[in-house]
C-alpha cells in the first residue's frame, strides 16, 4: 500500500470547468476587476469565509507580498513572524526590504503572543500570525496586542482554509488574510492564492497592485503582475464547491487516526472545543522522529516533517535567536496523511505501522522527547 502525504482530489467537474475556459478562449483578463471566472471565484470565496471582498492572486506568496506592500511595509521595518512556518512567509517580508523578527510558538505550533509582546520595538510595524497545519493561531490575542501598539496584522492562512474559531474563519480576524491554492492544500487551482478583507480601500488597492498598478482609469501606482489566470479561477471554483465534503473526510480520517494512536504516549493534534480545524496537515510529535519517518517511508506511507529546519536556521535568514519550543518542534513533528483519498483501511494501516515504529524508538529518544 502507498499513501501520499497529500494529493489533490480532481474529477469530472474540474475537467468541465477548465474545458469551458479553453473553449471560450479568454484565458486571462487585465480588466480592473479581472475576468468573469476570477470574479465568480472571488464571489464564491467571499460567501464561504464571510468576508466582504476577495482578491485572487497568482499564489499564496503573492498574496502575502501584495498585502505587505499595501500595508505600507518598507525597507528596514520589523515584522514579527514565527520561525516555525514555510519559508515563503519570511521571503515575502524580505522581498520588500523589511526584516522578519522571529518569535516562538505555542504547543499547537502557532505564534506565541507572550513572545510577540517581548519583541515589539519602535521598528515593529506588523505581525504575521500563521495558522499552521490548519490550527488556529491565538488570533484574538494577537489582534488585541496589535491594537495596543498600533501595529498591523496580516494573517498567513495559507494552510487553514475552512478552519474556524467560534465559527469565524481564519483570515477574517484582521484587515487582510492570505490563502494558498497550491496542490497540497485542501483545495487547489494548480497554483494560486487570494486575499480576504472587509476594507474596500484595501480591496481596491490590492486589485490595482495585482495588475501592474492599473486602475479603472489607467496606470495609477506601482504594481506587479500577480493576476490569477481564468483557468485557475475556474478550477478553484469547482474545488470550492467540494470543500465541505473534503473537510468532512479529512476530519473523519483525523478523528479515526487519533482514536487508533491515542495509546502511544505521543503528542496528538487535539483542537480546543470552540475550534474546528481543517486538518490540512495532521501533525503529531514523536520521539526519534527521523528513524520513525524512515520506517514509514519504507512501508509506503508518505509522512513528512514540516518543518525540520525552522526559518531562523536556514542559510539566508540564519541568526542566533533562541526559540526553544520551535527548536523542539523541529526535532519531533511528523505529519501523517488524512486527505480524502485515504480510506479507512489506509488510516488503520498508518496506525499499525506507526505503532510498530514508535515502539522501536530508543529509550534515549524518549528522554529527549519528554524534556
- What is the CATH classification number for the domain harbouring 49? 3.40.640.10
116 in the same domain as 189: yes
Task: State residue 360's pLDDT score.
Answer: 83
For range 6-16, the mean pLDDT:
97
The answer to whether position 3 is within a domain reads no
344 in the same domain as 213: no
The answer to whether position 248 is within a domain reads yes
Question: What is the number of residues in the chain?
Answer: 371
102 in the same domain as 128: yes
- The string of pLDDT tens digits covering residues 197-219 is 999 999 999 999 999 999 998 99
Contact criterion met (CB below 8 Å) for 90 and 81? yes
Residue 252: give its domain's CATH number.
Answer: 3.90.1150.10
Tally of structural domains, the chain = 2
134 in the same domain as 24: yes
280 in the same domain as 133: no
For range 311-335, the mean pLDDT:
96
**Which of 205, 240, 275 corresponds to the end of one domain?**
240
Mean pLDDT of the chain: 96
For range 17-25, the mean pLDDT:
96
48 in the same domain as 186: yes
**Which of 189, 222, 240 corresponds to the end of one domain?**
240
354 in the same domain as 213: no
324 in the same domain as 222: no
pLDDT at position 368 over 80: no
345 in the same domain as 197: no
213 in the same domain as 107: yes
Whole-number percent of the chain with pLDDT over 70: 98
Task: State residue 371's pLDDT score.
Answer: 61
The answer to whether position 5 is within a domain reads no
Which three cell numbers mark 224?
A: 506587479
For range 129-134, the mean pLDDT:
98
- Within 10 A of 274 (CB to CB), how many other CB atoms are there? 10
**Domain that residue 152 falls in:** 12-240
DSSP3 helix / strand / coil % (the chain, rounded to 5) = 40, 15, 45
pLDDT band at 364 (very low <50, low <70, confident <90, very high): low
Amino acid at each position: 500500500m502507498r499513501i501520499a502525504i497529500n494529493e489533490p482530489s480532481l474529477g469530472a467537474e474540474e475537467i468541465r470547468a477548465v474545458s469551458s475556459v479553453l473553449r471560450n478562449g479568454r484565458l486571462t483578463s487585465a480588466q480592473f476587476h479581472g475576468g468573469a471566472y476570477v470574479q465568480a471565484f472571488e464571489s464564491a470565496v467571499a460567501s464561504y469565509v464571510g468576508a466582504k471582498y476577495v482578491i485572487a492572486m497568482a499564489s499564496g506568496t503573492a498574496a502575502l507580498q501584495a498585502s505587505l506592500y499595501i500595508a505600507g511595509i518598507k525597507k528596514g521595518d520589523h515584522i514579527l513572524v514565527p520561525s516555525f512556518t514555510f519559508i515563503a512567509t519570511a521571503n515575502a517580508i524580505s522581498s520588500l526590504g523589511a526584516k522578519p523578527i522571529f518569535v516562538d510558538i505555542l504547543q499547537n505550533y502557532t505564534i506565541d503572543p507572550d513572545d510577540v509582546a517581548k519583541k515589539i520595538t519602535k521598528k515593529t510595524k506588523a505581525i504575521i500570525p500563521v495558522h499552521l497545519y490548519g490550527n488556529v493561531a491565538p488570533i484574538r490575542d494577537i489582534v488585541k496586542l496589535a491594537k495596543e501598539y498600533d501595529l498591523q496584522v496580516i494573517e498567513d492562512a495559507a494552510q487553514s482554509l475552512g478552519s474556524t474559531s467560534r465559527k469565524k474563519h481564519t483570515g477574517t480576524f484582521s484587515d487582510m488574510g492570505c490563502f494558498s491554492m497550491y496542490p497540497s492544500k485542501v483545495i487547489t487551482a494548480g497554483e494560486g492564492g487570494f486575499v480576504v478583507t472587509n476594507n474596500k480601500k484595501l480591496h481596491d488597492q490590492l486589485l490595482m497592485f495585482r495588475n501592474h498598478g492599473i486602475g479603472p482609469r489607467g496606470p495609477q501606482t506601482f504594481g506587479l503582475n500577480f493576476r490569477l489566470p481564468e483557468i485557475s479561477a475556474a478550477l478553484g471554483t469547482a474545488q470550492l464547491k467540494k470543500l465541505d465534503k473534503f473537510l468532512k473526510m479529512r476530519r473523519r480520517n483525523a478523528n479515526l487516526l487519533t482514536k487508533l494512536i491515542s495509546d502511544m504516549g505521543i503528542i496528538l493534534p487535539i483542537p480546543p472545543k470552540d475550534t474546528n480545524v481543517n486538518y490540512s496537515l495532521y501533525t503529531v510529535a514523536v520521539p526519534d522522529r527521523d528513524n520513525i519517518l524512515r520506517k514509514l517511508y519504507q512501508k509506503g506511507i508518505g509522512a513528512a516533517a514540516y518543518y525540520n529546519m525552522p526559518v531562523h536556521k536556514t542559510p539566508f535568514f540564519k541568526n542566533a535567536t533562541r526559540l526553544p519550543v520551535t527548536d523542539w518542534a523541529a526535532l519531533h513533528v511528523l505529519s501523517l496523511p488524512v486527505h480524502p483519498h485515504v480510506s479507512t483501511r489506509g488510516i488503520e494501516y498508518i496506525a499499525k505501522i506507526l505503532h510498530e515504529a514508535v515502539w522501536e524508538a530508543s529509550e534515549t529518544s524518549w528522554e529527549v522527547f519528554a524534556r
